[in-house]
Amino acid sequence: MRKIIIILGVSGCGKSTLGIALAQELGVNFIEGDSHHPKTNISKMKDGIPLTDKDREPWLIKLSDMLLKHQPEGAVIACSALKESYRKLLSRNITKNNLLWVYLKCGLDQLKKRMNHRDHFMPLSLLKSQIDTLEEPKKGLYLKCSLTVNNQIKQIKKKLNE
């Protein structure tokens, strides 16, 4: 059984970039959490309206069900997973020893710069609400988003081999 690796952090921290590269390196599927948001959530975010816990719940349940299907072969998912309650819901179907949380920690200036240089439905105006909502995880691997993707992958592989 391979690991489910959940890469979390606020918008712009590099979850998808790392997730795609890591999944390719490990030979597992990559799941882009943002592509599974309901249209109503995407519309709210495009309009600069922060999502509520109620908005996020069906999305997290859908992602959790997807992870369960991928548990035997492993997968990498990029998902903001900002609160501990979101992480519990997201990982509810995954055996704890089959799960690795990777938190990408990023400074505000770097986040703003990254968000200004991408085409995404999440506007820069919602970054503050994500930062305010974020509950840094108590467990998992913390990585600086300023590291190169190759260095991030090396640290993740080292953790997987422990």
Q: For residue 121, what pLDDT is reported?
A: 56
Domain locations in the chain as residue ranges: 4-154
pTM score, whole prediction: 0.89
Q: Please list, in sequence order, all residues whose beta carbon lies within 8 angstroms of the beta carbon of residue 118, skipping any fewer than 6 positions away.
A: 12
4-154 is classed CATH 1.10.357.10: no
Sheet of 99-105, strand order = 29-32, 75-78, 4-8, 99-105, 141-144
pLDDT reported for residue 116: 61
Percentage of the chain lying above the pLDDT 90 cut: 62
Mean pLDDT on 100-104: 96
Mean per-residue pLDDT over the chain, rounded: 88
Residue 115 predicted with pLDDT over 70: no
- pLDDT attached to residue 112: 65
Q: Which residue from 59, 51, 145 is spatially nearest to 103, judged by alpha carbons? A: 145
Question: Would you place residue 50 in the very low, low, confident or very high pLDDT band (cuts 50, 70, 90)?
Answer: confident
Is pLDDT at 22 greater than 90 in this prediction?
yes
